[in-house]
Chain A
């Protein structure tokens, strides 16, 4: 396994402190960018690097930056999406807590590239520790002249504000984030217009994920070609993978894009297989909102295109491993419960559908389900998919469809037995 760039702290202890970060070469990329490159050149470097957003959708970052209107007189804003709330996902937190200057340097270069003079780091409300670390790092960096007025004597100004989130998953959806930042309920906005034209305070805005921005100093420092050379051509770069569930060694791992899912679950350098020598039942590759993969489907390379081809999504790389003892009905119930709780309630299919899914899954798990309720789950999911303001409805519908289709007999068994066989066995035993 090669050098670690995102999880640099594993190789350079104390890198969360400015002097260590700088001694390791930190902020040289920022200096180079601001002193020697035009904003347009940076945008071009990021475009050429092939960097795709790490927030979930995998949209090419350089292309997104190019959507900013050229002729708007309004100020531009950069929002750092540090709301990381998708179940199974805990990679951004790693960067924030252990390598905060990498994120800040990425923020600086990116803000410069898009010509923003204000950047907001919207950090998940529950990340109290991360917020404190980031605040401290930011103070250090301000004091050393990396932020504020006339940075590096270039005349470029940037103010960075750390904004603690409002404690809801939906605050991570980019337009929900913007509403929340403006002091309102995090109701995702109807699109168009998109944030690039109408974002924070009605001004052009770019929202990027923490890991996405953390890649930017690497691209500028080591060159887009270096970045491009890592992983698959259409989806290059270093990547963080979150392993949780039934694996020997859960945690965050850095590996190139395109490493195989099987390697991540079973590889000795990664998950190390399933505890107790149990068999694998399924893996969710990209956070709780994506379709589950069967054991025979996990040879897939972990990049946006390959995982999509395999019928799931790379999403946030939140890999959730489930062993043979997992009740798939109950697992889905827990997922549905999450989305029911987190639906902002704005649009009809999601507001009513998420609650309805959970209710039906409760019938299946605890008893009282009618035979047609297995199909009802599919129907509810179908009716939610693609018909809402944001993708939270899809996030609830996609796992539902895949769980029910791939483990249908288990759902039918729950109907037949009027409840979960495991719970029933437990009650009898």
Chain B
């Protein structure tokens, strides 16, 4: 491993890193626009110029690989002047519409200007080169050509990552413009990523623009719940409302990217269709009730011979508690884990998986997953006293007629989910639980990686985290455990399940932890 010196400090780093990455290890930021670790080196913005010992000209840090004995200076007067010069050049034709720009707060032009320039503009507005504004270039993306600093990240993304090549550069000199190739739209399934990687307000999200100023938003690391890949994300939210998902770097899962379907998946977790209180239905009406009643009545019902369905949208913790309840406390009741996805579900050989459930592998690892056909048969075969359905709707699985038949054959239907659907509407007991954004827990992705989701904000109304509800039911059924957090449930799960052995929330961390290879 080569040893390099940056600003007088030594660091030993892996072969192949560039100077920007090496400096990062020392906590030294080298400002940059065009460089993106997931894309090829363009070297065009010239923001990352640094001094390299024995090299007369300033060199771009992004295209300088570390080598033994390399000596770099990033804070000299020359470097400072070069940065200031680049910023001044970038602003020559910039429209300066920051007050109405949606990128404000996460704009690298603004940020670096404050850090490295702070010079007043020297070019009158009427002399600037004008280009297109607010151009609708795809279902998710708007383009403002004047704000573009021509770093070509978006072009490289479409050329190198999706290989769809919708975007190109046109004209020359200061008339160069990013645009769609004739007849194209930016409509590939990963198009939203260009908004994330655009360092300025040139590419903005149609879905997000003008909905919130970013500095008000809070971020919570989580995992995309829309398919089995489990792309790492940050939930951007404010006062119990999700504004957007952003991909979060995980070299073992999604690197820097996420798909558009997952990106827009946040909409399913908004206020619409949420149920805010537990309900119970009797002969003539549906009545709101409280958790005390639920926790007094439901365990009593379950004792009367219960069967349960858990969807692969439930966390490992929830599935584990269900297994405890139905496998142990109720002495061998039936628990069916189900992973259902629509037949024509999108998929590709990059990130998108046809399995639209975030925790299929988790249910499999816990040994509760059954094939959908087997579940249909089991549910529609005989009559039963009580059925407990957790974390999903049986209507798409059984069809509307199947669900009605199931209902006829089931004396008491208990359903828990974060939002309303056909199963919940027909349930005798409807229990509102937290959405994936409102609870702590883990999902196991398609590659067998256990990854954490976190409570970004508390569940609305009287909804409770699923693990909490299940833990309380288990207590009433005689379990000695008194779980106060999802983390405690996970610790117990990890102790009980060889595939999870040695794991804790601490070891799972931000990047997840692979299941141990255990035969099941």
Which residues on A are within 8 Å of B, measured CB to CB?
Answer: 168, 185, 190, 192, 340-349, 351-356, 359, 376, 383, 386-389
Is there contact, CB below 8 Å, between B42 and A190? yes
Is there contact, CB below 8 Å, between A356 and B46? no
Is there contact, CB below 8 Å, between B129 and A355? yes
Of B165-173, B268-276, B300-308, B364-372, the segment with at least 4 beta carbons within 8 Å of chain A is: B165-173
Is there contact, CB below 8 Å, between A353 and B46? no
Interface residue from A185, A190, A355, A376 paired with B173 (Cβ < 8 Å): A355
Interface presence of B150 (CB below 8 A):
yes
Q: A342: which B residues are within 8 A, CB to CB? A: 172-173
Q: What 5 pairs between A and B have smallest CB-CB spacing?
A: A345-B176, A190-B43, A383-B85, A352-B89, A355-B174
Is there contact, CB below 8 Å, between A345 and B169? yes
Interface residue from A192, A343, A352 paired with B92 (Cβ < 8 Å): A352
Interface presence of B88 (CB below 8 A):
yes
Residue of A nearest to B47 (CB): A348
> With the chains together, A192 CA to B55 CA distance in Å?
14
Q: B81: which A residues are within 8 A, CB to CB? A: 383
Which residues on B are within 8 Å of A, measured CB to CB?
Answer: 41-47, 49, 57-58, 60, 63, 81-82, 85-86, 88-90, 92-93, 122-123, 127, 129, 149-150, 169, 171-176
Is there contact, CB below 8 Å, between A354 and B46? no
Is there contact, CB below 8 Å, between B92 and A344? no
Is there contact, CB below 8 Å, between A190 and B41? yes
Residue of A nearest to B49 (CB): A387
Instruction: Decide: A359 near B127, CB < 8 A? Known: A351-B176, A352-B90, A352-B92.
Output: yes
> With the chains together, A359 CA to B126 CA distance in Å?
12
> With the chains together, A346 CA to B172 CA distance in Å?
8
Is there contact, CB below 8 Å, between B86 and A349? yes
Q: How far is the CB of A181 from chain B (nearest CB, A)?
A: 18
Is there contact, CB below 8 Å, between B46 and A349? yes
Residue of A nearest to B174 (CB): A355
> With the chains together, A352 CA to B89 CA distance in Å?
6
Interface residue from B47, B60, B88, B173 paired with A354 (Cβ < 8 Å): B173
Q: How far is the CB of B134 from chain A (nearest CB, A)?
A: 23
Is there contact, CB below 8 Å, between B90 and A348? yes
Besides A342-B173, A345-B171, 17 other A-B contacts (C-beta < 8 A): A190-B44, A340-B174, A341-B173, A342-B172, A344-B172, A344-B176, A345-B150, A345-B176, A346-B150, A347-B43, A348-B90, A355-B129, A356-B123, A359-B123, A383-B85, A386-B57, A389-B44
Q: B122: which A residues are within 8 A, CB to CB? A: 376
Interface hub of A190, A341, A386 (most chain B Cβ within 10 A): A190
Is there contact, CB below 8 Å, between B89 and A190? no
Q: A388: which B residues are within 8 A, CB to CB? A: 46
Interface residue from B58, B63, B149 paired with A348 (Cβ < 8 Å): B149
Is there contact, CB below 8 Å, between B49 and A351? no
Q: A340: which B residues are within 8 A, CB to CB? A: 173-174
> With the chains together, A343 CA to B129 CA distance in Å?
15
Residue of A nearest to B168 (CB): A185
Q: A348: which B residues are within 8 A, CB to CB? A: 44-47, 86, 89-90, 149-150
Q: B173: which A residues are within 8 A, CB to CB? A: 340-345, 351, 354-355
Is there contact, CB below 8 Å, between A345 and B49? no
> With the chains together, A212 CA to B176 CA distance in Å?
34
> With the chains together, A349 CA to B45 CA distance in Å?
8
Q: How far is the CB of B126 from chain A (nearest CB, A)?
A: 11
Interface residue from A344, A352, A387, A389 paired with B82 (Cβ < 8 Å): A387
Q: B43: which A residues are within 8 A, CB to CB? A: 190, 347, 389
Residue of A nearest to B129 (CB): A355
Is there contact, CB below 8 Å, between A349 and B85? yes
Residue of A nearest to B169 (CB): A185
> With the chains together, A190 CA to B40 CA distance in Å?
11
> With the chains together, A168 CA to B172 CA distance in Å?
10
Is there contact, CB below 8 Å, between B88 and A190? no
Q: A351: which B residues are within 8 A, CB to CB? A: 89, 150, 173-174, 176
Instruction: Decide: A345 near B172, CB < 8 A? Known: A190-B60, A355-B92, A383-B88.
Output: yes
A-B pairs with beta carbons under 8 Å apart, 13 shown: A190-B41, A190-B42, A190-B60, A346-B176, A349-B86, A349-B89, A351-B173, A352-B90, A352-B92, A353-B89, A356-B123, A359-B123, A387-B85
Interface residue from A352, A383, A387 paired with B174 (Cβ < 8 Å): A352
> With the chains together, A267 CA to B54 CA distance in Å?
44
Q: A383: which B residues are within 8 A, CB to CB? A: 81-82, 85, 88-89
Q: A185: which B residues are within 8 A, CB to CB? A: 169
Q: A354: which B residues are within 8 A, CB to CB? A: 173-174
Is there contact, CB below 8 Å, between A356 and B92? yes
Q: B46: which A residues are within 8 A, CB to CB? A: 347-349, 387-388
Is there contact, CB below 8 Å, between B44 and A346? yes
Q: A190: which B residues are within 8 A, CB to CB? A: 41-44, 60, 63
> With the chains together, A387 CA to B86 CA distance in Å?
9
Q: B93: which A residues are within 8 A, CB to CB? A: 352, 355
Interface hub of A190, A345, A348, A354 (most chain B Cβ within 10 A): A348
Q: B90: which A residues are within 8 A, CB to CB? A: 348, 352
Q: How far is the CB of B379 from chain A (nearest CB, A)?
A: 59
> With the chains together, A343 CA to B46 CA distance in Å?
15
> With the chains together, A224 CA to B89 CA distance in Å?
48
> With the chains together, A190 CA to B61 CA distance in Å?
12
Q: How far is the CB of A192 from chain B (nearest CB, A)?
A: 8
Residue of B nearest to A351 (CB): B174
> With the chains together, A226 CA to B259 CA distance in Å?
68
Q: How far is the CB of A177 from chain B (nearest CB, A)?
A: 16
Interface hub of A341, A346, A387 (most chain B Cβ within 10 A): A346
Q: How far is the CB of B63 from chain A (nearest CB, A)?
A: 5
Interface residue from A341, A347, A355, A376 paired with B44 (Cβ < 8 Å): A347
Q: A359: which B residues are within 8 A, CB to CB? A: 123, 127
Residue of B nearest to A362 (CB): B127
> With the chains together, A359 CA to B44 CA distance in Å?
23
Q: A345: which B residues are within 8 A, CB to CB? A: 150, 169, 171-176
Is there contact, CB below 8 Å, between A386 and B58? yes
Q: B92: which A residues are within 8 A, CB to CB? A: 352, 355-356
> With the chains together, A78 CA to B473 CA distance in Å?
79
> With the chains together, A192 CA to B18 CA distance in Å?
13
Q: How far is the CB of B179 from chain A (nearest CB, A)?
A: 13
> With the chains together, A344 CA to B174 CA distance in Å?
9
Q: A346: which B residues are within 8 A, CB to CB? A: 44, 150, 176
> With the chains together, A380 CA to B184 CA distance in Å?
38
Q: How far is the CB of A332 from chain B (nearest CB, A)?
A: 17
> With the chains together, A185 CA to B152 CA distance in Å?
13
Q: B127: which A residues are within 8 A, CB to CB? A: 359
